[in-house]
Amino acid sequence: MNDMDIDLFQKILKLGIMTEMSYEMGIETDGTALLELMETVETAENFMDRENAICAIKKILKPEWKQLDKPTRLKVRKSILERYFAEPSLRTVRHFQMVVNQTAKLEFANGGQWEEFVPTLKAAAEKKDLDSKRAVAFVLYGLIQDPIPSLRNSLDDFLFMMKAILQDTEFYESGFSVAACIPGMAKIIENDPQKDAKLVSKFQEIIVGFVNMFNTFVVVHGKSRDGSVTKLLEVFSTLILEHAQLLGDKFGLALATVVKQLEDRSLFDGYKVEGVKVLLAANKRHPAKIREANLVIPFIRSFIKLKFVSESSYTEKIVGAIYGTVLQLLYHSPTPECRESFLELCAELSESKLDVERDRTMQYLLLAVNGVPKFGRQNMKKITAIARKRFTDSSTRARLAAVSICYSLVNLSGITLNEEQRLEYFEVALNSISKDSGSIICSKVAETMFELCPTAEHSTLKKFTHQFNMKSPILLRGVGAWEKKLQVIMAVAITVMSAKKESFPALVELVVECKKLIEELGNLAFLTLEQTELAHSILCVCPMVIKKIGYEKFAPHAKPFVEVSLKYLKSADYQKKFGAISFINGTAGDNAAIYSGHESEIIKTYIHLANQQPMPNPVASELLDCGSKVYGNLVIDSPNAAEIVLSKSVTFFGLGELARGMTQQFSPFYDEAFNSLKLWINASHRNRDVAVTAVFKMFKAAFIANEGDKYTPLPATPDSCSLKPESLSKMVDVRNFVFPILERENNYRMVITILEGVAEMFKVCGGIFLTETKERRRPYKVYALTYETILTNTHSCQVVGLSDSMNAEVTRALFATFINGCNTIGDDFPYLVGLVRQFALFEFEKKPTLYRSVVIECLVKAAEVLQDRKHIEMLFFHLFLEHFESGDTLDVHMHSGKGLGIIIENSIVDTYLNAYPFVKEYVYQFFDHAEDFYKENLKDIQSFTSYKERVELSEEESEPDDWSSIVEDVTEQLEEERVLASAALAKTCGCFARMILRHPEGFESLSDAIALLLKYLPLHGEHKEYTPIFKLFLKLNATNSSVLTDHAPAIVEMFADAFTADVKLEDTEDIERCGDYDEENFIVTRESVFESEDIKKKVIIFLKVFDKKHGGIVSKNKVLKPIIA
């Protein structure tokens, strides 16, 4: 037994047992046993002998102590303290501590004294000795856990000893023992009825020592698994949760210490778990104190940096619990400073080299955006900037969180994105997608695009369309759920019409992906609602894509689309049938070849549908929610849009397209289709305009099928009709059907549709559409009467009180017949001109602005197509001159100027030369006015734009948003005025160029005239007006005019701008300014800067010659150099 003295052991055992037994039997002892055991403690050399003696003393101390007289007790007390602090064995000391505490309790009971007790402890506590400090700590623990009332006055000394031990970090292990005393001491002080402020202050001082000791202890023992750090964390937990008030301003220090240690990656996982528990509990119990101590951001930092070496379900549960705490911290920390600090923290840690830190940072930021909407609204730009950088993160979690953040920002309630913000979110969402993006990220981007696209301005869509089109195949492949694939298709529907040429390869790839989907869906016997909507949407959207990429690129992939469309066309399911009809409607007109062999089947089905009653739509609201642009020709057939009618509107439109594309195959079914449409138009009050449009398309197809596509309309009413009987019969049927309607119709949309159809018939058939011979005048009289009533604003469709814009539409449609009839109506045309002069131009200045603009514009178009009508031409000249001079609105002014130029350019020599002084004066005046307007307009735009930027930078939430919207509207209006002024200036320049071109002798100085033209020529908008200018310079070059030399640099610059504008126009297909968008047929028509390829070639030859004549001046221009190379 480790050289232990057996005899001595037996003696100790005997003394202890006998004394204890005597005590239990009520037999008094004389105290000798205690004295003998103390002697053993003092003399025994083996620590186990001493330990056994001490253990025996613990059992008999209380009964034996009573038997000792005072001198003997003094002697024993002294010996106990001396031997206690001299004992080298730690295990023995732990037993001895109990003897010391028992002795103290016996001595201090009933007001007794032990004078040397406290001073001895204090002296030992200050020693630079670990054993002494630890021994003091053991005694203190016993005294605090089992307090002695008479030692209340010694609390100050106890605190002194605790502080002395704790602050000596060299002996931090003794501090570990003292730490266990702290919660007990806190309890004693808080329960003290006197509430001594000095004791409270000194207690708070020992917290500082405890924190320092803890930090040192963790450095040494943080990796161990002995549970020591856990015990210290339990002390922190008790203090923070139960004694926060006592801690005072040291509450933050205590909590911050735990927070800091969690960032130590070497700390044992178990200790991290305990630390997290402390923080979570603290936030639950004392959230206000955490905010007061400015610990919100340190809390979140520590949670972000928290890393468990071995992940488990338990640690995952802990991490999950943290999310709620983070959200609570941010939600209850409304100060801008706190949230600004949080953003700074996110910006910093989102750049961390550790995946886990970047992941958590982005996840917490997402949590803040979703959980604290106000935070997201106030900090959109900064949050977006942080998220943007993580779109290419190597960590999938970080990428997903970044994309989710943008999606959440887009969907924040109570906020309306301006176009700049919307464009930014388009950009950041699309930048997050790459070929290796997973389904979750792709799904989030799909959701974001689906939310952004329907409400975005066309100008915004154009800016990101190419990027989206390039990413759309990746998105469609990447998303897993049918619903998400549907969202991608919806976004494609809205953006595809703005696609650029460089996007076409991606759109072809998209078609391939859609082909795979439609094949898969077409083979399924049963489709879910999501699958049905997807199939329907693909069939609706593909025609738009085909319009862009061209039939040739679509043809290799057409088969499954056609097969599924034919299958769905016979389906009883509304959405399937509608999808099939939408696909056929969008492709049959231009790409009928893909239906080869199925034409009769399709046409019969359409006629059958046209004869059916309307089919109610069971999912109307869902379709409407998906965005009207997707459904193209969809017509809402009820006032509240509660149901959508399938058969009529889209079927009528489809019949017209089938006739257009399947001309020969449609002929056998013409009569049946025509009679079906007639029946509907006469019996219904809905979709009649669509039916009438179909009638005109069908007749045009039948006419071409009978007469041949090389038929040339006669210029006037013939003496006898040369049409084939079948063509004549159909023409008469159509005319006799539509003209009575035109005469009595009170629906302005129907009137417009019929007039537009008549205008088209003038182009197809010529004047014989009104009357095939001079004897048959009834149709012409109906037309002329309608013409007159519309011009006098007394037609039945006008008396219901149309708005100015609606009335202008009717007038424009009427003039379309006037323009197309200029060279086909024959001798009756002057009468129609007279009606225009008598009614349309009477008290012209009193008519609405829009009406005046439409009338003059239409007359200019008529002037362009006039042939050999010099008396009418003169009438038009004076008309245009009058309104060019009058200083009317910019619209009227610019159309009048263009009309003047056209008539002068095409006139017989000297016809209008005497009018040149007047015209030139008006042109010069307008140039001066335009220059002043441009300066003021530009100044206003810059001023409002600057103000708008200041408003957007403001952090206020109420007024700035409203003002920003107002300023944006004003700025947009100013921009529109600038565009209109530019168009007016362009047309005036065109007029001026035509004047020089026709009569250069009409100018005193040709050089000055050219200089003026080059000065005011706008280099944007109204590209048609470049043509007379090009012709002018080509003519001057051909005559070797020296005037070109005077302006060589300006001429080179003008041509450079012209070619630049042509390239931009070809690349971007600028729908808004340079072309027309036909929403019904999804067609974009584009005007080139050059009227024809012939003019373009001549201009290039001119530039080459000009370059040689002027020392390579053209070659020095970066734009023109490759063109003439």
The token pair at 1059 is 């070619």
| Residue 1121 covered by a domain | yes
Amino acid at 965: S
| Residue 894 covered by a domain | no
pLDDT digits 0-9 by tens, 224-238: 777 788 888 888 888
pLDDT band (50, 70, 90) for residue 601: very high
Helix (H) or strand (E) holding 443: helix 439-452
Domain that holds residue 1125: 1019-1125
Question: Distance between CA 239 and CA 227 in Å, rounded?
Answer: 19
570 burial type by CB count under 10 A (0-12 exposed, 13-18 middle, 19+ buried): exposed
CB atoms within 10 A of CB 971: 18
Residues 810 and 790: beta-carbon distance below 8 Å:
yes
User: Which range (456-460, 575-579, 727-731) has the least confidence?
Assistant: 456-460
CB atoms within 10 A of CB 225: 12
Q: What is the CA radius of gyration of the chain?
A: 48
Average pLDDT score over residue span 383-388: 82
Q: What per-residue confidence (pLDDT) applies to 958?
A: 43
Q: Which residues pair with 766 in a beta bridge?
A: 714
Question: Distance between CA 1012 and CA 1119 in Å, rounded?
Answer: 24
In this predicted structure, the answer to whether residue 1071 has a pLDDT above a threshold of 60 is no
List of residues 6+ apart from 1000 with CB closer than 8 A: 1006
Residues 260 and 302: beta-carbon distance below 8 Å:
yes
**Sign, CA torsion 633/639/644/649:** negative
Q: What per-residue confidence (pLDDT) applies to 647?
A: 58
Residues 614 and 646: beta-carbon distance below 8 Å:
yes
3-class DSSP state of 374: helix
Mean pLDDT is highest, among 462-471, 520-529, 773-782, 1057-1066, for: 520-529
pLDDT band (50, 70, 90) for residue 628: very low
Q: What per-residue confidence (pLDDT) applies to 944?
A: 66
pLDDT band (50, 70, 90) for residue 1070: very low
Q: Report the length, in residues, of the chain.
A: 1125
Share of the chain above pLDDT 90, in %: 3
How many domains would you assign to the chain? 1
DSSP class of residue 500 equals -
Residues 53 and 95: beta-carbon distance below 8 Å:
no
In this predicted structure, the answer to whether residue 951 has a pLDDT above a threshold of 60 is no
Cβ burial 387-405 (10 Å sphere, 16+ → b, else e): bbbbbebebebbbbbbbbb
Global pTM reads: 0.65
In this predicted structure, the answer to whether residue 961 has a pLDDT above a threshold of 60 is no
Average pLDDT score over residue span 192-209: 82
Share of the chain above pLDDT 70, in %: 80
pLDDT band (50, 70, 90) for residue 644: very low
List of residues 6+ apart from 83 with CB closer than 8 A: 41, 42, 96
Concatenated DSSP letters for 800-867?
Answer: TT--HHHHHHHHHHHHHHHHHTTTTSGGGHHHHHHHIIIIISTTGGGS-HHHHHHHHHHHHHHHHH--
Question: Distance between CA 665 and CA 669 in Å, rounded?
Answer: 8
Q: What per-residue confidence (pLDDT) applies to 695?
A: 93
Question: Distance between CA 437 and CA 403 in Å, rounded?
Answer: 11
Question: Distance between CA 1045 and CA 1048 in Å, rounded?
Answer: 5
Average pLDDT score over residue span 876-880: 79
**CA-to-CA dists, residue 898 to 328, 861, 863, angstroms:** 68, 10, 10
Residue 837 CB-half CA count within 13 A: 14
DSSP class of residue 1086 equals E
Amino acid at 1068: T
Residues 951 and 964: beta-carbon distance below 8 Å:
yes
Amino acid at 931: E
The token pair at 267 is 């700390």
| Residue 35 covered by a domain | no
Average pLDDT score over residue span 832-844: 73
Amino acid at 418: N
Residues 428 and 380: beta-carbon distance below 8 Å:
no
pLDDT band (50, 70, 90) for residue 405: confident
Question: Distance between CA 1079 and CA 633 in Å, rounded?
Answer: 8
For residue 478, which phi and psi values (nearest 5 degrees)?
-75, -35
3-class DSSP state of 494: helix
Three-state SS annotation for 126-178:
CCCCHHHHHHHHHHHHHHHHCCCHHHHHHHHHHHHHHHHHHHCHHHHHHHHHH
Residues 707 and 666: beta-carbon distance below 8 Å:
no
pLDDT digits 0-9 by tens, 993-1049: 888 888 888 888 888 888 888 887 765 544 556 788 888 888 888 887 788 888 888
pLDDT digits 0-9 by tens, 558-593: 899 999 999 988 888 888 888 899 899 888 888 888
Mean pLDDT value across the chain: 76
Average pLDDT score over residue span 492-503: 75
